Structure 1
Amino acid sequence: MALQITQQNGTFLVDGQLNSATTTSFMNHFKYIIEQQQNVVLNIDGVTEIDYDGLAGIKTLTAIALRNHKMFSVIGNGCKDIYQDFNCSQVA
């Protein structure tokens, strides 16, 4: 399934699989959005699968936003692997 990104009330809804096949276009799309907006909210309720590349892409976008003094938030109850990885990386 291809990755679909829509915007609703200022929140970007991501549906589908965020994996090695879709991460490059996902990253390019959100790099541009981060440049254009002060606050980016990403809702992952519709993410059905995420692999290492997809997770690394979200981490990279977070770092880009931080460097540019922008807000980048990930919300929703999508793929639980995202939360497990972020919780483990914040323990140290």
Structure 2
Amino acid sequence: MALQILENNGTFHLEGNLNATTSRSFIIHFEHIISRLKKVTVNIEKVKEIDRNGVAAFKILLANALRNNKLFSITGNGCEDIYKDFN
């Protein structure tokens, strides 16, 4: 399943899989968003799968946001794999 990104009231909702197939385009898309906005919130409630590439993508985006003094947050109780890796 592809990854779909929808924006609603400043929160970006992900739906689908964040994996080796989708992670590179996810990074490119959100690097552009981070460059434009001061605060980026990503909701992973409807993410079915996050593999190590998807977790790495979030780490890259978090580092990018910190480097540029931007806020980047992840919300939702979607795929628990991301929380296990960040903790």
Shared topology, TM-score over 0.5?
A: yes
TM-score by length of 2: 0.99
The count of aligned residue pairs is: 87
Gaps of 5+ in 2: none
Aligned to 2:34: 34
Q: Structure 2 counterpart of 1:83, which letter?
A: Y
Of all paired residues, the percent bearing the same amino acid is 55
| Root-mean-square deviation over aligned CA pairs | 0.4
**How many Å separate the matches in 2 of 1:22 and 1:46?**
15
Question: Deviation string for 1:13-68 (max 9, x for gaps)?
Answer: 00000000000110000000000000000000011001110000000100000000
Larger Rg: 1
Gaps of 5+ in 1: 88-92
Q: How does 1:1-92 map to 2 (within 5 A)?
A: 1-87=1-87
TM-score by length of 1: 0.94
